[in-house]
Amino acid sequence: MLLNFSKMHGLGNDFVVVDNVTQNVFFSKEKIQQLADRNFGIGFDQLLIVEPPYDPDQDFHYRIFNADGSEVSQCGNGARCFAKFVKQKGLINRNKIVVSTKAGRMVLYLEKDGLVTVNMGRPIFEPARIPFKANKQENTYILRDNDSTYFCGAVSLGNPHCVLEVDDVATHDVEGIGALIGANERFPEGVNVGFMQIISRNEIKLRVFERGAGETLACGSGACAAVAIGIMQDKLDKEVNVELPGGKLIIKWHGDDSLLKMTGPAEHIYDGQITL
């Protein structure tokens, strides 16, 4: 079977994007792992699949698979690429796109300057809905692992995030601590682990060790998670520039029940074909 795909990225967080509106391709977990391999496959952090809408008030359904083949409910950088992809492929001719994911509903906006704004919905702090094992909701939790103690925030943007504040992201052991916390039993579905260095109330540096992919050059939902937690901890203001290794995102959130918005780029690299 021939698969047509696009290779895209959001700040270096890279994707294979598949139109399953005009195609109908099934991907097994093993096939996703094989295609994700950067030596034996195409290579990507996540596979993004465009499907017809599940409900009449949406334009598309948006499915996301990590490089390890696990299906997840959110990918912020991927949402921006999704918006550019469906417009470029002529699957829609509007600049406002409504999609559903396993976690809910998002609205994507193609901006005039080429950037994409995503309404990421409301950050979810209730531990049981992250999910995270805790006796009650806190702005900062104490996490113990082996003989180490970590202070972190926890939130869901449709996918689970744990965020630690560090002095210098550049030298922090993101790989080692990210893998350790990512496997902590208090996160029963795993977790994306963010390492945030606060530069000012409007600027942070961030690195993210992603569930199912390892450290990526950028994590859109991770940027949203870090800002939401920073605002809840009263360390950040309502609009924050997030500098990730792959580039910059702008995150806006007015707290409480308001909707969190992310704005950033999405790039098309090439179109390809592969025989499955």
Ligand X SMILES: N[C@H](CCC[C@H](N)C(=O)O)C(=O)O
List, by residue number, the catalytic residues.
75, 219
Q: How far is the CB of 34 from ligand X (least distance, A)?
A: 19
- In the complex, minimum distance from the CB of residue 153 to ligand X, in angstroms, rounded to a whole number: 16
What binding mask, one character per residue, do residues 36-55 give for ligand X by CB under 6 A, x or -? ---------xx---------
Q: According to CB under 6 A, which one of 76, 153, 182, 245 is a site residue for ligand X?
A: 76
Binding segment (CB under 6 A) for ligand X, from list 101-109, 123-131, 216-224, 246-254: 216-224
Here the contacts of 184-189 (C-beta below 8 Å, separation 24 or greater) are 184/143, 184/145, 185/133, 186/132, 186/133, 186/134, 186/143, 187/130, 187/131, 187/132, 187/133, 187/160, 187/162, 188/131, 188/133, 189/131, 189/160
Site string for ligand X, 184-203 (x = CB under 6 A): --------x-----------
Q: Which of residues 142-181 bind ligand X (CB under 6 A)?
A: 159
Q: Which of 210, 217, 229, 242 binds ligand X (CB under 6 A)?
A: 210
To the question of whether residue 135 is assigned a binding role by annotation, the answer is: no
13 binds ligand X (CB under 6 A): yes
Check whether 24 is labelled as a binding-site residue: no
Would you say 143 or 157 has its CB closer to ligand X?
157
210 assigned ligand-binding residue: yes
Which one among 59, 82, 221, 260 touches ligand X, defined by CB under 6 A? 221
Cβ closest to ligand X, residue 29 vs residue 94: 29
Is 247 known as a binding-site position?
A: no
23 annotated binding-site participant: no
Q: Which stretch binds ligand X (CB under 6 A): 90-98, 103-111, 114-122, 212-220?
A: 212-220
Cα of 155 vs its chain's centroid, Å: 13
Neighbours of 31 (CB within 10 A): 16
Interface with ligand X by CB under 6 A: which residues? Answer: 13, 45-46, 66, 72, 74-78, 159, 192, 210-213, 216, 219-222
Which residues are annotated binding-site positions for substrate? Answer: 13, 46, 66, 76-77, 159, 192, 210-211, 220-221
